[in-house]
Structure 1
Amino acid sequence: MPSRHALVPRLQPRSLLAALLFGGLLAGAAGASQAQSLPGEALEHRLQVQARSELSVAPDMATLNARLWERTPSVAQDGSEQADPKALAEARDRLETRTGELIRRLEGQGIDSAAISAGSLIVRPDYIQQPGDNGNPGETLVRTQIERPLSLRIDDLSRLPAILDALTQAGVDALDGVTYDLKDRDAATDEALSQALEKARHKAQLMAKTLDIQLGQVIQVEETGAPSYSPQMMSMRSDAMESKAAPEYRPGEITLDASVRVAWSIAETPAR
Structure 2
Amino acid sequence: MALRLRFVSLVFLAVGMAVGPAAAQDDDPAAITVSGKGSVTAQPDRAVVRFGVVTRAESAEEARTQNATAAQTAMNAVRDLDVPEERMRMESLRLQPQYEYNDEKNRRELMGYKATRQVVAELDRLKVLPPLVAGVVEGGANQLDGIDYQLRDRSQVRNDALRKAARAAEEKGRLLAETLDAQLGPVQAINEQNVDRVRPQPRASRMEMTKASDAAQAEPEAYAAGEIEVSARVQVVFQLRTD
Give TM-score scaled by structure 1 length: 0.73
In the TM superposition, residue 139 of structure 1 has moved relative to its aligned partner by 7.8
Where does 1:1-272 land on structure 2 (aligned, <5 Å)?
16=4, 24-25=11-12, 27-29=14-16, 31-38=18-25, 42=28, 45-73=30-58, 83=59, 88-129=60-101, 140-223=109-192, 225-234=193-202, 235-238=205-208, 239-241=210-212, 243=214, 246-247=218-219, 248=221, 249-267=223-241, 269=243
Q: Deviations over 1:234-254 (max 9, x none)?
A: 314215225376122222222
Cα deviation, 1:192-226, whole Å, max 9, x if unaligned, reads: 22211111112223333444423332112223x31
> Which is greater in Rg?
1
Conserved? CA contact 2:32–2:173, under 8 Å: yes
How many angstroms apart in 2 are the aligned matches of 1:181 and 1:115? 14
SS at match of 2:114: strand
Change (3 A) 1:118 1:23: same
Tell me if structure 2 keeps the 8 A contact 1:66–1:150. yes
Counterpart contact for 2:36–2:169, Cα < 8 Å: yes
Q: Percent identity?
A: 24
When residues 232 and 205 of structure 1 are mapped into structure 2, their CA distance, relative to the original with a 3 A threshold, is same
More deviation in 167-176 or 204-213?
204-213
Q: Which has the larger displacement, 49-58 or 116-125?
A: 49-58
Report the Cα distance in structure 2 between the residues aligned to 1:30 and 1:126, rounded to whole angstroms. Answer: 81
Indicate the SS of the match to 1:172.
coil
How far apart are residue 162 of structure 1 and its match?
Answer: 1.0
Q: Which runs of 5+ in 2 are unaligned?
A: none
Give yes or no for contact 1:120–1:148 (8 Å, CA) kept in 2.
Answer: yes
Aligned partner of residue 218 in structure 2, secondary structure: coil
Q: Secondary structure at the match of 1:65?
A: strand
Give the alignment's Cα RMSD to 1 decimal: 3.1
CA distance in 1, matches of 2:106, 2:207: 29
Residue identity matched to 1:48: T
- Report deviation, 1:145: 1.5
TM-score, structure 2 as length reference: 0.81
Number of aligned positions between the proteins: 237
**Amino acid of the structure 2 residue aligned with 1:237:** M
Deviation, 1:121, is: 1.6
Q: Do the aligned residues in 1 keep the contact of 2:49 with 2:147 (CA within 8 Å)?
A: yes
Q: Structure 1: any 5+ residue segments left out of the alignment?
A: 1-8, 74-82
Q: Name the counterpart of 1:79.
A: none
User: Is the Cα–Cα contact under 8 Å of residues 55 and 116 in structure 2 kept in the other structure?
Assistant: yes
Structure 2 counterpart SS, 1:243: helix
